[in-house]
Structure 1
Amino acid sequence: MSTQLDTIQAPAKKATERNWQRPHYDVSENEEAFIVRVNLPGVDRKDVDISLEEDALTVTGTRQNDVPEAWRPLRREIHAGDYRLSLRLNVSVNEAKIHARVENGVLDLHLPKADEVKPRKIKIS
């Protein structure tokens, strides 16, 4: 089964580049739109950036690690970090109607299909 949205493989990292993590995500589809749900735990909505350039949708997010100054951890597994997800859109979407929302560390992207790719009924005359 072929999907209409494909993960873009990241090129090899240079030593000066950030250490991006690819977040977990789900893609679903209905007749009207694609819905992309991206897990961004610990990322505030102001630290999420979404861009669409040609057929590449890119989501980035930065998790801040604000701790009290006097805090002395005994063990530390939660770190500040950066998320990056790039998807190639293999179908046209209506860019003007894309909307997104972040709630409880989950980004929901609604990508409406362009009219020319929506299923339609053809009347027989």
Structure 2
Amino acid sequence: MSTQLDTIQKPAKKATERNWQRPHYDVSENEDAFNVRVSLPGVNRDGVDISLEDDTLTVVGTRIQDVPEAWRPLRREIHEGDYRLCLRLNVSVNEANIQAKVENGILELSLPKADEVKPRKIQIS
């Protein structure tokens, strides 16, 4: 099975750019839609921005750092930085019916296939 959604690799970042991290994600497909699950730990609903432009789906998740003002960590494993995922859609989707929800740090997207790419059953006469 070949995938219809490809991760877009971005060039190395410049020193002035944000500290982006590529989140983990899963893609599944059924006859009506592609379903994408993106892991965005530390990101709430208001911190997610989703756009679709030129067949590229972009998900940006902004983490809100909620630490006390006098916080001085002795060890740091929770890295600062936001999430960015770009997926190229190699198939037409019905943009008007895309659905998204965030729950427990997981973004779930449903990308309905356009009618022209859905499988059709042809009846024999």
The number of equivalent residue pairs is 125
| Alpha-carbon contact 1:62-1:80 (below 8 Å) kept | no
Cα deviations across residues 39-70 of structure 1 (Å, max 9, x unaligned)? 00011111110000011000011112111224
Deviations 1:3-31 (A, max 9, x none): 10000111222221112100000000000
**Does the CA-based 8 Å contact 1:58-1:87 persist in structure 2?**
yes
1:24 aligns with 2:24: yes
Matched letter for residue 15 of structure 1: A
Q: C-alpha distance in 2, partners of 1:31/1:85?
A: 24
The 8 Å contact of residues 92 and 114 in structure 1, kept in 2 or not, is answered as yes
How big is the alpha-carbon RMSD for the aligned residues of Structure 1 and Structure 2? Answer: 1.2
Structure-1 residue corresponding to 2:10 = 10
Q: TM-score, normalised on structure 1?
A: 0.94
Give the deviation of 1:79 after TM superposition.
3.2
Partner amino acid, structure 2, of 1:58: T
Gaps of 5+ in 2: none
Change over 3 Å in CA distance of 1:75–1:12 after alignment to 2 = closer
Q: Identity of paired residues, percent?
A: 83
- Matching of residue 94 in structure 1 with residue 94 in structure 2: yes
